[in-house]
Amino acid sequence: MAKAKTKAKAKAKAKPKSSARTDSRSRPSKRRSPPAAKAKAKPRPRQRFVASHLSPPAAKAKAKPRPRQRFVASHLREEDFQVGLRSYAAYRDLGISVASGGMVQAHVIRFVPPCRPQDVSKLHYHDVDFQMVYVLKGWIKTEFDGQGAIVMRTGSAWIQPPRIEHKVLDYSDDCEVLEIVLPAEFKTVELE
């Protein structure tokens, strides 16, 4: 009798069996297509249920037309290094700004030796969408907000998020970096 009660309780606790499917997958069709048609048919992508009444459909943002770009080549010439944004650095414009219609700026920065911290170590940020730096020669020590001081050597690269506060602390006498910035024209804000 105890066995009968245990079986009865187990049946009561068991989930009722149903022939209805409860998952969101679609059922395979019961109709069979002829073998020739089946070979030509392409598999259809699975469709997912979207509750459109819960959220309005997202409007597709129109892609902003990119400026027309043209081919440009830049070859190393010492006379192309010019004093620019900073007195302790000479910049070699690679012609990317003009070729990209102002979309991108790319230049090689050659730091002027010796490093003078009183001139170099000024906290600032750049109002940019993207900034990437690659060390071509030597090394550079820079302090970034939230990251601390980091020494980057030949072959090192980093991305500076937009408006990150930073300052150059030191650099080797032969330091050169490649810098790529979007957009080509941007503002540098000095904080010291």
The per-residue pLDDT for range 30-65, each reduced to its tens digit, is 455 445 544 555 555 544 444 344 445 555 667 778
The helix (H) or strand (E) run that includes residue 99 is helix 96-99
Beta bridge partners of 107: 93, 179
pLDDT on residue 85:
77
Pairwise CA distance, residues 108 & 111, whole Å:
10
pLDDT on residue 1:
52
Burial of 108 (0-12, 13-18, 19+ CB in 10 A): buried
Contacts for 68-74: CB closer than 8 Å, 24+ residues apart:
68/101, 69/99, 69/100, 69/101, 69/103, 70/99, 71/99, 72/96, 72/98, 72/99
- Print burial letters for 144-172: b (CB count within 10 Å at least 16), e (below 16): eeeeeeeebeeeeeeebeeeeebbbbbbb
pLDDT on residue 182:
97
pLDDT on residue 52:
41
155 in Cβ contact with 133 (< 8 Å): no
First to last CA, the chain: 89
**Residue located via tokens 């469709």:** 47
pLDDT on residue 48:
45
Residues of the chain with pLDDT under 70: 1-61
pLDDT on residue 179:
98
